[in-house]
Amino acid sequence: SNITSGNLIYVWGGCSGNGSGTVPTDTLGHTYTLIRHTYDATNDQTHTTWYAKNTSAGANTVTLAASYQGSYTRMGVLELSGLNTTSPVDVEVGAVDTSTNGTDAASGGTLATAYASDFLVCSAQNIDELEAGTLLWSAGTSYTGNTPTGTHVGKMQTRQVSSTGSYAAAFTGNGVRRSIIHGVAFKDAAAGSGGYRTRGILQIGGFF
């Protein structure tokens, strides 16, 4: 879909295997910067996140390379406005999680923010082979889910904060789900300016 000049594109991808070194490309020629790459050797699956800052305007298609196009391929894309256009990342975390059920059960760690009006983005994928294609979580406490309805092998969520602090990069779980969770806190364009919106949400999943 058409994107807006000066925005930020957030991309996550998952696949079987390591997938190391893969970088997204798009039809507008943006440069994507790695946020975090996590490989779980136990289930031989990967979860990786990137961003492209200060986007050009126009119709745009985001693509992942062949190493992400095998089994268990999944992908999510968010376009975000109101963020810092030069150095957008405040802090990021990520982990392989084997939590039991409960509130904020599936966690990638804690985002200790340095800026009062950060915008938090989390992505997650289920890597429990006993439940392939099923991610039975909802958005974490105070987060808004940004994933279309239906059964997915991945989810996204966002949260606007108004003060510095320690925020869980976590989804609400309903059972034991071996998973990979990433979280990132993006700085706003100017301290205290706020004014975020999420648009152009895309979720692709379930290619086995």
Half-sphere exposure of 145 (CA within 13 A, CB side): 16
| SS3 call for 131 | helix
**Residue 150, SS3?**
coil
Distance between CA atoms of residues 100 and 128, nearest Å: 13
Q: What's the average model confidence in pLDDT over 169-195?
A: 78
Retrieve residue 168's tokens: 């869980």
Lowest mean pLDDT among 12-26, 86-100, 133-147: 133-147
The rounded mean pLDDT for the chain is 82
Q: What is the mean pLDDT of residues 84-90?
A: 96
Q: Averaged over 136-162, what is the pLDDT?
A: 83
Non-local (6+) Cβ contacts of 35 within 8 A are: 49, 50, 51, 89, 92, 182, 184
Q: Strands 119-126, 154-160: parallel, antiparallel or unpaired by DSSP?
A: antiparallel
